[in-house]
Each structure stands twice: as structure tokens, then as C-alpha cells.
Amino acid sequence: MTSVYLHVRLLLLLVVGSVPQTHGGRVLVVPGEFSHWQNMRVIVEELVERNHAVTVLVNTGSPTVNHTRQERFQIQRFTVSMQQGDMNQLWGDFMDFWKYQRNGTRQQAFSASVLIMNSFFSYMSVVCKGLAGNKTFVEGLRRSKYEVILSDPFTPCGDLLADILDVPYIIVMRNTFGYTLERMCGQMPTLPSFVPCNPITATDQMNFMERLGNFMNYATHSALFYFHSSVHMSKIYTEIKGEPTDMCKVLGKKADLWLIRSNWEWDYPRPFPPNFIFIGGHHCKPPKPLPEDLEEFVQSSGDDGVVVFTFGSLYKNLTVERRNMFVSAFQQIPQKVVWGFKGERPQHLPANIRIYDWIPQNDLLGHPKTKAFITHGGSNGLYEAIYHGVPLLGIPLFADQPDNIFILEKKGAAVQLDFYKMDADDLVKGLQAVIKNPSYKENIMRLSRLHHDQPMRPLDRALFWIQFVMRNRGAKHLHVQAGNLTWYQYHCLDVALFLLSILTLVSWLISRTCRFCFRKCCWKHHGKTKAE
């Protein structure tokens, strides 16, 4: 009897398996672009694996997400008044901004900053209005009754959408410059005395001058962010909601959880509220076998092994001069080089170098023949290097990459080179150090052991907390109440002032009493001497 029942159930499962599952939840995802989408995708696929129905929202100008591809999740597009060409232009300007910051005159750097600030303001406003300000679109989403919204703040206004739809909301991110979003909206208590501000200029052990610099770094970022959020974004939020609204308040109140893509084997320790969950390395996996021709090439390296080299998905242009520099350096080393690069290729390639449009990075880093990883220092690639224990040669290009490499360099797991100043000799020396000097391997292996020594996989932790929020319709009980205080209440300045007043009053009373007693006593004494 039971076995028949079991068979019927199994059969039902097989039949029903292809239609949307009712026992999973409905999840809405607002991802970022480029590598941000790659690591959000890992979470999306795991949600699908666990029977949740996932919808990914993509704007019509997105340069990243291919909406025509057949996927196991649904892709829904929202209309923005910006074409893909404009978006590409924006990201090109973004790369130029970093190029001029690192290798340009002051004037170039300044005008690139003004240009990119203006472009980002209009990007944020356009995407925000397309995502949360289109009534038809938002009402369509409301009808789908989502149980949670996951968003990368790289794409603005996921929080406002969650607020309008009244759906629990989870942020997925690595960090913001100056920790502004986390500090000022998420109530993460970041202390300038021992938490280095990013862009990083010092480790977490700072002398007086470094602490002064760190303090000023935080202050500058706070002021810039205040201007951005209060003046610019809050105006758009107010316009969309139709009532006075503050961007930071909406985000801080709305975010049930912050899933942060880092952890303490890498980042410097710092205090955080209980709704911050650290999932660094959630995308790392054991290696799969390499494609046949690549495996053959890797095996042909013998005892010297291979070097894996890539600058990631966003960086496509390499000047002929820089390209030749890399080639002439690689010519001088005994290792084979697997180079992931989409741009124009050198005409004469030495036999120990192979260039591929795309490389299976995780599988290569997990290969026993891999000796070193030359990287721009994007956080996805660095976590894979930590996971597999591959020492690094970091050549940071933009955004948080200099910080990422800086920290691993200080921990003795990486050598850093300056892309704009290095020559072939520096590269050869750097590679030799990383490969021949055992301390780099030992240090990255120590970080790797720390990374693997945790009670659950980072991806499982992410999934547990997402499902926790779905089961419990939010996680407001984890919120610290700091957001409801004014700045003087937060720092207990009112309490200090009160205590100080009491202290002053008591001191005054004591001093008055003493004076009174003293006078009385002296007067008596005086009187007595007079009488005598």
C-alpha cells in the first residue's frame, strides 16, 4: 500500500516537476552589471536548484545580462530612457576615470571626475525611475506576490521598489567607498581608529599620522555621500513616492539583511550589526576537468607549471606597448602562460603562451600545475585564488582592486605591480618571487585553510539567510536601533552634557559651601583676635 502511494507520489513529482513548483518561494532579483551579475548569478542558480521561482530584473540598456538566452529563471526587462550605446559610453568613461586617476595629469583626473560624477547621477536617476517609478511595471510586479527582493546597490532603488511593494529586502554587496552605505544607512559602527577606510591607505594598525589620514578619508566620503544621498537621490525618491523621503532612511529601514561578499580571512576585522552576514567566496567551487586541449597544454608545462593571467571582463583594451611588455616578460620564464584576453592579439606568440577569449578561471586555479595568478584584483578572482591557495601577482586597474591587492600583499600572499609604471623586468622578478619564494605559497595556503574551516559553505549560509527572511517575512529583530537616534543621541552627547551639568552644579555647590564655611570660620577667628 505504502509502496503504491510512494510510486504515485514519485510519478506525480516527475509530471509536476516541469511546471512551476508551488512549495518554493517567489524571489525577485535586481543584480548589478559585469562581475556583480556573475556572482549574483551563483545565488540565483542555487535558489532555482532549491525550487524557488526566480525573476531577474534587467534594464533595457544593460550591457551584461543576455535576456534572449534560455535560462532556468525568468528574465524581465524594465524600460530605461538610455540606450545600450549610452551605457557602454558610461562604462568607457568609468574606465577612463580610473586611467586618469592613476596615469594622468591633475587636470585630466579632475575633468574625468566631473564627467563621471555627472554621468553616474543621470544613470542612477534614469535606472531608478525605470525600476521603481513606472506604475504599470511596479503594479505588474505586485501581482506576482514576491516573498523577498535581493538587490545589488550597484543598481539603484531596489530598496525603494521593495518599500513600494512592501516585500522583505536583502542587499548583496562587497563594500562601498568609505563604507558610506553600510555606515550611514546600515548602521555599521565603523571606527576610524582601527578600521581602515577604503580606498585603503594603511593596515588596521595605524600610527598617529595614519589615523589622522584615515579620519579625514572617512570625513570626505561622508560629506560626498551626504551630498549624493540627501541632495540628489532623496529628490528622486521623493518624486517617486510623492511624499518627503530620505534615501538613506528607506534603505536602512527596509534592508532586513546585508549579505556581504567578504570575510575575515581576507578583510580586516571590524564590528558589525547582527543583520550583516558575511558570504565571501560563495561562488568558489572545487575544480572541474579542463577542456582537452587546455589540459594538454597545462600538462606539457612539466615541473615548471603554469601561470594564469587575466584582467577580467570589463578591461578589454591593452595598448600595443603594454601588450608587448607582457609578451616579452612571459618569453623569459620557464612556465607556460594561460592568458584570458578578448582584445587584439599579438602577431607572434611564443610557444609557452596561449591566449583564449574566455578561460575556465576557477578550474584553472584549482589545477595542481598552477603556480601563480596574475590578476587585476577583482574580488571574484581573488576569492578563487584564496579558495584554491594560489599566490598572486596583482596589477590593480580600478575601483576596489588596489585595496584588494593591498590587503593580500600585507598578508604576504601577493606581490603588487603598477600597471602604468612596470616593465618586463619587474614582471619577471615579481613572478619569480611569487613562484620561487615559499612564503607566498605558505601565506595564501594559511588563508585558504582559514577560508575552508567554517561550519557551513558561504553559499549555504547565503541561502539559509535568504530562506530565513522568506519564512519569517523579514528579519527586523536583528536591526540595531541606531537609525532612530539623532547624531547627538547616538554619541550620547546629550547624556554627557547632562552629566557634565550635574558635575558642574555639584562642584559649584561644594565650592560655595566650602567658601561659606571658610569665611564663617575665618570671620570667627578674626573676631576672636579682635576681641582679645
Ligand X SMILES: *[C@@H]1O[C@H](CO)[C@@H](O)[C@H](O)[C@H]1NC(C)=O
CB-nearer residue toward ligand X: 94 or 383: 94
Distance CA 121, CA 133 (A): 16
Select the residue interacting with ligand X from 43, 95, 353, 444 (CB under 6 A): 95
CB of 102 to ligand X, least distance (A): 9
CB of 69 to ligand X, least distance (A): 4
Which positions from 38 through 67 interact with ligand X, judged by CB under 6 A?
Answer: 66
Q: How many Cβ atoms from other residues are within 10 Å of residue 378's Cβ?
A: 27
CB of 133 to ligand X, least distance (A): 9
Q: With binding defined as CB under 6 A, does residue 486 bind ligand X? A: no
Q: With binding defined as CB under 6 A, does residue 79 bind ligand X? A: yes
CB-nearer residue toward ligand X: 218 or 309: 309
Q: Can you say whether residue 152 is alpha, beta or left, with left for phi > 0 and alpha for psi between -120 and 50 degrees? A: beta
Which positions from 319 through 348 interact with ligand X, judged by CB under 6 A?
Answer: 319, 322
Only one of the segments 95-103, 205-213, 485-493, 504-512 lies at the binding site for ligand X (rule: CB under 6 A); that segment is: 95-103
Cα 33 off chain centre by: 13
CB-nearer residue toward ligand X: 137 or 278: 137
Distance CA 100, CA 107 (A): 9
Select the residue interacting with ligand X from 92, 271, 274, 291 (CB under 6 A): 92
CA-wise closest residue to 382 among 403, 357, 359: 403
Q: Which long-range contacts (CB under 8 A, 24 or more apart) does 367-370 make?
A: 367/287, 367/290, 367/298, 367/306, 369/298, 369/299, 369/301, 369/305, 369/306, 370/298, 370/305, 370/306, 370/307, 370/308
CA-wise closest residue to 354 among 376, 381, 335: 335
Distance CA 159, CA 150 (A): 9
Q: With binding defined as CB under 6 A, does residue 358 bind ligand X? A: no
Q: With binding defined as CB under 6 A, does residue 68 bind ligand X? A: yes
Q: With binding defined as CB under 6 A, does residue 74 bind ligand X? A: no
CB of 425 to ligand X, least distance (A): 16
CB of 66 to ligand X, least distance (A): 4
Q: With binding defined as CB under 6 A, does residue 88 bind ligand X? A: no
Q: With binding defined as CB under 6 A, does residue 420 bind ligand X? A: yes
Select the residue interacting with ligand X from 23, 69, 106, 471 (CB under 6 A): 69
Query: Is 44 in a helix, a strand, or coil?
Result: helix
Query: Is 479 in a helix, a strand, or coil?
Result: coil
Q: With binding defined as CB under 6 A, does residue 134 bind ligand X? A: yes
Give the residue carrying C-alpha cell 609557452. 352
Distance CA 33, CA 51 (A): 25
Q: With binding defined as CB under 6 A, does residue 72 bind ligand X? A: no
The DSSP bridge partners found for residue 76 are 57
CB-nearer residue toward ligand X: 133 or 287: 133
The alpha helices in 332-372, defined as continuous H runs, are: 361-365
CB of 155 to ligand X, least distance (A): 16
Q: With binding defined as CB under 6 A, does residue 373 bind ligand X? A: no
Only one of the segments 132-140, 266-274, 299-307, 396-404 lies at the binding site for ligand X (rule: CB under 6 A); that segment is: 132-140
At residue 418, φ and ψ (nearest 5 deg) are -95, 115
Cα 366 off chain centre by: 24
Only one of the segments 50-58, 90-98, 244-252, 512-520 lies at the binding site for ligand X (rule: CB under 6 A); that segment is: 90-98
Name the site residues for ligand X (rule: CB under 6 A): 66, 68-69, 78-79, 92, 95-96, 103, 134, 136-137, 317, 319, 322, 420
